[in-house]
Structure 1
């Protein structure tokens, strides 16, 4: 185990049904090396799926590339979909391995990389730990993070809105299309739709946010647009608009882009018409368009006086 702590690992059985599934996939590939690769990848995926089921975490094999013979043939893939969270890559390793190898085709669109040690008999597999990123494609086994950290990572992601999933047609509760969200002035909707930086494949969603009693339940609308950029990047645009018949935003309303640790990356604030005026001259404010890759996390904070609303995202 190369110094890895046994108490922090999980051993899963590789029963007859698992091997039947692996053999079914294996039989669809005439190249012997590819067939063996698919067989071992399937065992690793099944081991992680068993572990997650024991932790009462739902998984979906049918939406995973590792369960698609066409994708198996094209790539060295061992992903497992966790609904509402993303895809985790399950990489098989042998007992004498010192590193977890991650092929370049698996470096994007993954929420983590799990090392699965296969016993030579292939009767059991041990889930060793995970890495947040692929790095250079080789992750030392002794540098893997614990399975407790893995579960905490999944829990944090479940509370975040996945923008990559928007492009796949899966949108988190509370986020609606611009047409569905009544109260946004139509000219502002049109300006967001017609933004030159966006494209026909851009997904735009809106969420109504209540500023609370201090502002007589006045609401604002957070608009987010996601556009595929140069692979594997996504372009992200964020605007804040008034809602429910209001023409302008409240004065001194801030919109911030934060790292997941709270550091401010961008900040913009609504301006007053004149000193002491509560009505701003801005009918919307926006952050500069930015780009990110799958798995990156950030927060958007809307604040005015003592009221703060934070929305958490993962790309």
Structure 2
């Protein structure tokens, strides 16, 4: 299911008596998963819960139903993503710099990755991991090691500033 201007939400079916949700092979650009359990007669369903996006690099093959968050968490997640995307569309100097680095990549994709980092990463990892998120595919072909190191340092600085802004924004939302 696509949530306009936010991202894709994966609806995962769960049959009666199952205790895990099998994740699809393609999980990139997902903002999360909603588990939907079918009743024995398959004529009705129950929303079991929500799981936010998982690490795309080392994704789990499945999620335990017992680890799902309440559906209300989904609304909080969507709100965090919406306010972050709205921030990145402003004239704030950090937002302008991020947009220039992204080179027309969808803001929702970057925001979802930063939200995952915010939620699952340790603060001491944010600068480096955020720089990697911003770097994405932006490295020039034939760039020298020194150029890459300078670019990485600048992207890490920008990622750190962006995360500071997002923490402030998300603190107001929570």
* Superposition TM-score, scaled by structure 2 size: 0.56
- Aligned-pair CA distance for 1:266: 3.9
Structure with greater helix percent: 2
1:289 corresponds to which of 136, 139, 155: 155
Structure showing greater radius of gyration is: 1
Structure with greater strand percent: 1
SS of the residue 2:30 aligns to: coil
For this pair of structures, how many residues does the alignment match? Answer: 125
Q: Deviations over 1:117-142 (max 9, x none)?
A: 01132221101001123441210111
Q: Distance in 2 between matches of 1:88 and 1:221?
A: 25
2:22 corresponds to which of 101, 126, 132: 101
Is the CA contact 2:13–2:37 (under 8 Å) kept in the aligned structure 1? yes
Q: Distance in 1 between matches of 2:11 and 2:28?
A: 14
Is the CA contact 1:260–1:299 (under 8 Å) kept in the aligned structure 2? no
Is the CA contact 2:95–2:162 (under 8 Å) kept in the aligned structure 1? no
2:102 corresponds to which of 221, 226, 246: 226
Is the CA contact 2:88–2:96 (under 8 Å) kept in the aligned structure 1? no
Structure with greater contact order relative to length (CA < 8 Å, sep ≥ 6): 2
* Superposition TM-score, scaled by structure 1 size: 0.33
- Kindly report which structure 2 residues correspond to 1:206-285, keeping only aligned pairs within 5 A, or say none: 207-209=90-92, 222-224=96-98, 225-226=101-102, 260=118, 263=123, 265-266=126-127
Q: Deviations over 1:89-113 (max 9, x none)?
A: 00111011110001211x2110001
RMSD value over aligned CA atoms?
3.8
- Kindly report which structure 2 residues correspond to 1:23-42, keeping only aligned pairs within 5 A, or say none: none
SS of the residue 2:73 aligns to: helix
Query: Residues 148 and 122 from structure 1, CA distance in 2 versus in 1: closer, same or farther, beyond 3 angstroms?
Result: same
Q: Distance in 2 between matches of 1:220 and 1:95?
A: 48
Q: Which runs of 4+ in 1 moved over 2 A?
A: 172-175, 219-222, 259-267, 286-290, 310-313
SS of the residue 1:223 aligns to: helix
